[in-house]
């Protein structure tokens, strides 16, 4: 009869996850503005760029502190630094990659990660023919070394690019060796225990949800 309500009616009004997911968007826009030499920006202007209401931006930021100045707006440089701080991006992060098939290789070669401080430092594959090969400067290791290697390097972020059939098993193993954030490219609704964060990259799902609005065509 006594339910586990305790967990839900938490005392700390935790920052909503939707808010956290919007912060990188703000950060990116600020970086752009900064590169264009803009020094001050209002929530109004930010909202225009991002197609959202100024109030939402202000409310989101207010979860973390007071970063603006009445009558002026936000200092681009200052807000940018604060957001980086909040998101834990003032440091570099090591990332492990599992699966070096076509997709995995594309991910390794993708030039957009490193500039943002995410460095793929280890790669693993179940296929013995892949093991020992060098891809983008990284030597592919056997799955037998997964736990050992991830733990030894204290890697907390992993990218999963293995076939759907093996993804959950791989994810379970990653969780076991204390990986706390997983970016999953496999088209499965993966399950992870609470402390672990998971985000899915799934282009087919995205397409399938858009065709709903195209039915009439």
Partner DNA sequence: GTTTGTGAAGTATTTCACAGCC
Partner DNA sequence: GGCTGTGAAATACTTCACAAAC
Contact with its own copies (CB under 8 A) among 44, 53, 109, 139: 109
61 vs 162 by CB, closer to DNA: 61
Q: Which two tokens stand for residue 69?
A: 């100045």
Task: Answer yes or no whether residue 7 interacts with DNA by CB under 7 A.
Answer: no
Contact with its own copies (CB under 8 A) among 39, 53, 72, 110: 110
At 206 the three-state DSSP class reads helix
Q: Which pairs with CB-CB distance under 8 Å and at least 24 residues apart come from 22-25?
A: 22/60, 23/60, 23/83, 23/86, 23/87, 24/87, 25/50
Candidate segments 66-74, 86-94, 123-131, 200-208, binder of DNA by CB under 7 A: 66-74
Residues 6 or more apart in contact with residue 177 via CB below 8 angstroms: 146, 147, 150, 151
Task: Answer yes or no whether residue 106 interacts with its own copies by CB under 8 A.
Answer: yes
Q: Write down the least CB distance from residue 111 to its own copies, Å.
A: 9
Q: Which two tokens stand for residue 65?
A: 């502190």
**CA 2, CA 50: separation in Å to the nearest integer?**
45
Task: Answer yes or no whether residue 20 interacts with DNA by CB under 7 A.
Answer: no
For residue 198, what is the enclosing H or E element? strand 197-200
Contact with DNA (CB under 7 A) among 36, 51, 71, 210: 71
Task: Answer yes or no whether residue 52 interacts with DNA by CB under 7 A.
Answer: yes
CA angle (115, 155, 90) in 5-degree steps: 40
Q: Write down the least CB distance from residue 133 to its own copies, Å.
A: 18
Q: Write down the least CB distance from residue 5 to its own copies, Å.
A: 15
Candidate segments 68-76, 101-109, 131-139, 166-174, binder of its own copies by CB under 8 A: 101-109
Task: Answer yes or no whether residue 51 interacts with DNA by CB under 7 A.
Answer: no
Q: Write down the least CB distance from residue 51 to DNA, Å.
A: 10
DSSP per residue over 39-95, as a string?
-EE-HHHHHHHHTS-HHHHHHHHHTT---EETTTEEEHHHHHHHHHHHHT-SS-EEE
Pairing of strands 134-135, 197-200: unpaired
Residues binding its own copies (CB under 8 A): 20-21, 23-25, 27-29, 49-51, 86-89, 93, 95, 102-103, 106-107, 109-110, 112-113, 116, 118, 156-157, 159, 180-181, 183, 187, 189, 191, 197, 199, 201, 203-215, 217
């Amino acid at each position: 009869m006594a339910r586990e309500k305790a967990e839900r009616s938490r005392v700390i009004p935790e920052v909503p996850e939707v808010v956290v997911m919007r912060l990188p968007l703000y950060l990116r826009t600020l970086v752009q503005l900064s590169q264009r030499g803009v020094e001050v920006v209002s929530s109004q202007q930010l909202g225009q760029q991002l197609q959202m209401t100024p109030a939402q931006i202000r409310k989101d930021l207010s979860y973390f502190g007071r970063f603006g100045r009445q009558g002026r707006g936000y200092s681009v440089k200052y807000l940018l630094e604060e957001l980086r701080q909040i998101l834990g991006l003032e440091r570099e992060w090591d990332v492990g990659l599992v699966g070096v098939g076509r997709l995995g290789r594309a991910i390794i070669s993708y030039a957009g990660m490193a500039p943002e401080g995410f460095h793929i430092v280890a790669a693993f594959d179940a296929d013995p023919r892949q093991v020992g090969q060098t891809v983008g400067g990284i030597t592919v290791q056997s799955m037998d070394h997964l736990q050992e290697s991830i733990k030894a390097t204290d890697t907390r972020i992993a990218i999963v690019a293995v076939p759907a059939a093996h993804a959950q098993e791989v994810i379970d193993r990653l969780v076991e060796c204390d990986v706390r954030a997983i970016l999953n490219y496999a088209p499965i609704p993966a399950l992870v225990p609470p402390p672990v964060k998971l985000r899915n990259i799934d282009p087919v799902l995205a397409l399938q949800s858009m065709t709903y609005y195209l039915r009439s065509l």
